[in-house]
Amino acid sequence: MIYLDNNATTRVADEVLVIMEPYYREWFGNAHSVHGLGRKSHDGVEDARRSVAALMGAEASETIFTSCGTEGNAMVIRGLLESGAQRRKVVATSVEHPSVLALLRALEKNAQIDLAIAPVTPAGAIDLDAIRALVDDETLLVCVMQAQNETGVVHDVAAVADIAHRAGALVHVDSVQAAGKIPVSMRDLGADFLTISGHKFHAPKGVGALAIRKGLKVAPLWYGGGQELGMRSGTEPVPSIVGLGVAAEMAQKAVREFDRVAALRDRLEEALLGAPQHSISINGASQRRLANTSSISFHDRSSDAIVRALDAEGIYVSAGAACHSGKVEPSATMKAMGKPANQAIGTVRFSLSRYTSGEEIDRTIEIVRAIAENRPAVPTG
Ligand code: PLP
């Protein structure tokens, strides 16, 4: 198996599993119980909070554990609306993740917000002039992702935050794809809220975090025992949180390894661009991108067919287009970038991790070229 779908999810690191196991078998106490077993869990949660806060460039007292990126994004958007804020306008970029965009569209439909979508350039960059034109003194919140999940394009979040703050608006940054790949810092980005998700950086699925800048308040999505600063009632999943803490420490150090990952990604792209038998384009190539992400459009081809053919060879990637009732639809991101349909429907995302090897990339190049040129792949070994 060659796993190149790390923007979808990642393998849990062995070091993370090792740390988690005793919290299932021996130290299974409720983190809020006063006895020894409870205190052991509590200490595990608080150590993890410090590590996760460090990854987010936030204080531990500003950091809340969630179940995933989707939940963190909803906590900010819904929580702000229910916190008594007067302003009702939300500005978001056209390439935000559906956990932001679909929620905002639903709220707009229910007349709970006024929604303004800021376009991106054909290269996937945020159009700062468009943000400037849309953000006004009615704007409650500006939602901007640090790195785009399909293309890996890294956005100028600090510039967006500056525009928002000048208008008195708050800034929510979705750093789900950025965390562990590039430095993330709530402070340096000028974010008021920032979300991450563990399963994108080798922690287990079902655990993430939200940082809320000191002094800000959002209403909780639900009520109960008042865990997590009253923001997220419910017994904490201690093993997952402890695992998230270790994964966060590893991820912060691993950012350095992404130079090696970038070289592998570039090798893949150069080899495919250099093959004259097929025509491809690389999305967002002119922009600063996450080192691990390559979004490649195979012109006049169906991404679905390429993904299936790669799957048959044990290479796992994602399609940037979806097949609905026999019709291939480009992804919302490709549409937002104005990608021509014959290119958008052939878009495939290769996403590497710090565990990806040179041999895996070489084998991938060989197989992709064979598939793109419609010739049989040479079996390995
Ligand atoms: N935001 C971005 C940019 C993502 O890529 C994802 C997941 O792909 C999410 C949010 C949602 O995260 P989760 O799957 O943890 O809910």
The tens place of each residue's pLDDT in the chain, 381 residues long, gives 999 999 999 999 999 999 999 999 999 999 999 999 999 999 999 999 999 999 999 999 999 999 999 999 999 999 999 998 999 999 999 999 999 999 999 999 999 999 999 999 999 999 999 999 999 999 999 999 999 999 999 999 999 999 999 999 999 999 999 999 999 999 999 999 999 999 999 999 999 999 999 999 999 999 999 999 999 999 999 999 999 999 999 999 999 899 999 999 999 999 999 887 779 999 999 999 999 999 999 999 999 999 999 999 999 999 986 666 667 789 999 999 999 999 999 999 999 999 999 999 999 999 999 998 887 666 554
Note whether 114 and 242 are same-domain residues. yes
DSSP-derived letter for residue 103 is H
Domain that holds residue 201: 14-254
Give the Cα separation of 229 and 201 in Å (integer).
25
pLDDT digits (tens, 9 = 90+) for 310-362: 999 999 999 986 666 667 789 999 999 999 999 999 999 999 999 999 999 99
Q: By C-alpha distance, which of 280, 277, 353 is closest to 317?
A: 353
In angstroms, what is the span from residue 136 Cα to ligand 1's centroid?
Answer: 28
Q: By C-alpha distance, which of 328, 346, 351 is closest to 278?
A: 346
8 A C-beta contact, residue 65 and residue 58: no
Note whether 250 and 274 are same-domain residues. no
Q: Point out the domain boundary residue: 210, 234, 254.
A: 254
Note whether 216 and 330 are same-domain residues. no
Q: Tokens 């204080």 appear where?
A: 59
Residue 378 falls inside a structural domain = no
Write the CATH number for 262: 3.90.1150.10
Q: Point out the domain boundary residue: 238, 254, 270.
A: 254
Give the Cα separation of 338 and 68 in Å (integer).
30
Nearest 10 degrees: CA dihedral of 80, 81, 86, 87? 90
Q: What is the number of structural domains in the chain?
A: 2
Q: By C-alpha distance, which of 194, 209, 294, 283 is closest to 245?
A: 209
Encoded tokens for 244: 């998230």
Q: Point out the domain boundary residue: 191, 219, 254.
A: 254
Q: Ligand 1: does its nearest atom lie under 6 Å from the Cβ of 296? A: no
In angstroms, what is the span from residue 164 Cα to ligand 1's centroid?
Answer: 23
Q: Ligand 1: does its nearest atom lie under 6 Å from the Cβ of 197? A: yes
Query: Can you tell me which atom of ligand 1 is nearest the CA of 197?
Result: 15
Q: By C-alpha distance, which of 277, 292, 303 is closest to 351?
A: 292
Note whether 83 and 207 are same-domain residues. yes
Q: Ligand 1: does its nearest atom lie under 6 Å from the Cβ of 93? A: no
Encoded tokens for 156: 């100028």
Note whether 249 and 266 are same-domain residues. no
Give the Cα separation of 289 and 120 in Å (integer).
15
Ligand 1 pocket test target in 144, 177, 193 with most atoms within 8 Å of CB = 177
Ligand 1 pocket test target in 99, 101, 210 with most atoms within 8 Å of CB = 99
In angstroms, what is the span from residue 176 Cα to ligand 1's centroid?
Answer: 6
Sheet holding 293-298, edge to edge: 280-282, 293-298, 347-351, 318-319
323 is known as an active-site residue: yes
Residue nearest to atom 8 of ligand 1 (CA): 8
Q: Which long-range contacts (CB under 8 A, 24 or more apart) does 250-256 make?
A: 250/13, 250/15, 250/16, 250/201, 250/202, 251/55, 251/179, 251/180, 251/201, 251/202, 252/54, 252/55, 252/180, 254/180, 254/354, 255/180, 255/181, 255/182, 255/183
Residue 380 falls inside a structural domain = no
Encoded tokens for 151: 């293309």
Q: Ligand 1: does its nearest atom lie under 6 Å from the Cβ of 145? A: yes
Q: Ligand 1: does its nearest atom lie under 6 Å from the Cβ of 99? A: yes
Query: Catalytic residue among 37, 167, 221, 323, which?
Result: 323
Query: Can you tell me which atom of ligand 1 is nearest the CA of 96?
Result: 3
Q: Ligand 1: does its nearest atom lie under 6 Å from the Cβ of 149? A: yes
- pTM equals 0.96
Query: DSSP states of 9-23 as a string?
Result: --PPPHHHHHHHHHH
